[in-house]
Structure 1
Amino acid sequence: MESTFSRRSTDDVINTYLITTTHEDGIWGVAWGRGGRLVTGSVDNAVKIWNAEGGLEPLHTFHGHELGVISVATDLTGRYAVSSSLDSRIKIWNMDDKTHVKTIEGEPVEVWTVACDPHGPHVATGTHAGNVHIYNTESGERVQVLETKGKFIMSLAYSQQGNYLASGAENGAIHVFDTTTGRLVSTLSGHAMSVRSLSFSPDGRFLVSASDDKRVHMYDVHHGSQVAALAGHASWVLSVAWSPAGGSTSNVGAGAVDHIASGSSDKRVKVWDIRAKQCLHTLDHHQDQVWGVAYNEAGTRLATVADDKSLRVFSCQ
């Protein structure tokens, strides 16, 4: 049975889909594609595709990475999945015909988290040297390097409009770039430790970040300022996602958007109310640290993955 987010006690309403044998090792990445498809990536080197339209049905397992999969993403068409691995490779997979499309070879420690450009054939990845590399997914060639002059880039996110690309570093710094010009728009401060995950609001005006300092921050991208700090996790915050269900955030302070979700090393997922800037629900169903949280396109479902090898899906209606 699915769970339902409500303002009642979490214990009264939470049930989940659970696949206990999802992967053979911890799951570090999760992403939704169109048509109810879910993509997961694991330390077991595999990328798996799931049909989450009704229940959870395994559709296919992609093999080819030689080391653990760090992150997964999907393109705007919903046809392709992209994965990055500790083997310093980016792989592109066709979810429709279940084939391997291309491998992009990176230099050692120069491929980490990946993010797909929502409006072009490009994928971004962070590097140990503190740069962001942009690759053309059709040719496999590196077409741009964005320099932060900082530390190891551990997280990336494109805005839905494709005009911004944000990177989070191990020293807590966040850099936001204009994707058209490659110009650094702003440097956002506030975190004291590594920024593990980033997610833009649906209209691209705001950015949320997850950090090892146990906090989730929200920033006004246009003004380069921090507008909220959400505290409540007991350990590193490893993942964050902004629900698309609320539409425009032109009036965030008045509660135009419903939720953001965060996952942590404390084994918990928290769902936050944007307007009130407080935790609505704490989901404690995982048995190990939660590496990934992701909303579907409609914002009606939330998928979570963890080192306990499980994938869980909650209803957010």
Structure 2
Amino acid sequence: MVTHEDGIWSVAWSKRGNRIVTGSVDDTIKVWSGDSFEETNLLEGHQLGVLSVDISPDGTTAMSTSLDSQIRFWDLIHRAKTDDKTIDAGPVEAWTGAYSPDGRHVATGSHTGNINIWSTEESKKERTLETRGKFIMSVAYSPNGLYVACGAENGAVHIFDVPTGRLLHSLQGHSMCVRTMTFSPDSALLITGSDDKRINLYDVHHGNCLSSLAGHQSWVLSLSYSPDTTHFASGSSDKRAKIWDVKARQCIHTFDDHDDQVWGVAYSDDGTKLATVSEDRSMNIYQTG
């Protein structure tokens, strides 16, 4: 279904409240019912395209990053922008963002090769984790809250220890930009997707690459780990979304209904449905279990 007036670059599905949030190049964010898939709210405020969206663990708030350099927070319960929680991050200091598992922080990637950690309670930058590398294009928190990872434009992947801020691993394996990443529900695996068309699986504890998966014909733009722990989904600029079996290390299903690149994929909390969003302005919902 066509849902925005321009390409949709991001999607999130809440763990509580059963809401879907989409962010678009048309500068808007939309909220959808995870039951009826009807639009429940239009959120406006960004002046340029929305790069990423995420939903707080308690399902009450959404955050967004944009080309306008702002991090905005949105009240999903009362359907209003939380104006006092808007952060002016500065030029290219908040490329894509992700909530911490406790909802108290948001991590964003920086063009200077850093992860910026922002306090959601105080609406300010709390600390910076330095990679001394290239533009950070993707970030992810581990579900147990102990790790935060990032992917860079040169293919590097870095994993930090959250309590100490110490860099644990700098991982090789990709030859081009790492645009997306996700941790497994048990925080033991980190899965990354790259412009080199590969999906890599890393052992978080030991910092080694367990497998490199091929299947997409172009850039891998998005990843989502299924709550059932046995599958994950990917979206690509080859216009396809795929479901992968983690143990077998292979693709078990391909969706090819989009007419343009698939910028975002997100599982429902019970893992039975998958939302995909595309440059073609549409969102598709698939039954997966």
Identity rate, percent: 55
Match of 1:274 in 2: 246
- Cα deviation digits, residues 109-157 of structure 1 (max 9, x gap): 1110000011141111100000111111121111010000000000000
After TM superposition, give the deviation of residue 315 of structure 1 in Å: 1.4
Equivalent residue runs for 1:90-109 within 5 Å: 90-101=71-82, 102-109=85-92
SS at structure 1 position matched to 2:86: strand
Question: Which 4+ stretches in 1 moved above 6 angstroms?
Answer: none
Q: Does 1:180 align with 2:152?
A: no
- Cα deviation digits, residues 178-201 of structure 1 (max 9, x gap): 111111111111000000000000
After TM superposition, give the deviation of residue 62 of structure 1 in Å: 0.4
Q: What is the RMSD of the two structures over their aligned residues, measured on CA atoms?
A: 0.8
Q: Does 1:49 align with 2:21?
A: no
Match of 1:262 in 2: 234
CA distance in 2: counterparts of 1:123 and 1:280, whole angstroms: 33
Q: Does 1:234 align with 2:206?
A: no
Q: Does 1:79 align with 2:60?
A: yes
Q: Does 1:225 align with 2:208?
A: yes
Given candidates 121, 139, 144, the residue that maps to 1:161 is 144
Q: 1:119·1:161 contact (CA, 8 Å) conserved in 2?
A: no
Q: Which has the larger radius of gyration?
A: 1
Q: Structure 1: any 5+ residue segments left out of the alignment?
A: 1-18, 247-256
Q: Which amino acid aligns with 1:291?
A: W
Q: 2:275·2:283 contact (CA, 8 Å) conserved in 1?
A: yes
Q: Structure 2: any 5+ residue segments left out of the alignment?
A: none
CA distance in 2: counterparts of 1:243 and 1:209, whole angstroms: 15
With normalisation by structure 1, the TM-score equals: 0.89
Q: 1:135·1:144 contact (CA, 8 Å) conserved in 2?
A: yes
Given candidates 259, 272, 286, the residue that maps to 2:258 is 286
CA distance in 1: counterparts of 2:197 and 2:74, whole angstroms: 34
With normalisation by structure 2, the TM-score equals: 0.97
Equivalent residue runs for 1:1-317 within 5 Å: 19-20=1-2, 22-33=3-14, 34-53=16-35, 55-101=36-82, 102-246=85-229, 257=230, 259-317=231-289
SS at structure 2 position matched to 1:297: coil
CA distance in 2: counterparts of 1:195 and 1:273, whole angstroms: 21
After TM superposition, give the deviation of residue 35 of structure 1 in Å: 2.1
CA distance in 2: counterparts of 1:289 and 1:194, whole angstroms: 16
CA distance in 1: counterparts of 2:103 and 2:275, whole angstroms: 26
SS at structure 2 position matched to 1:123: strand
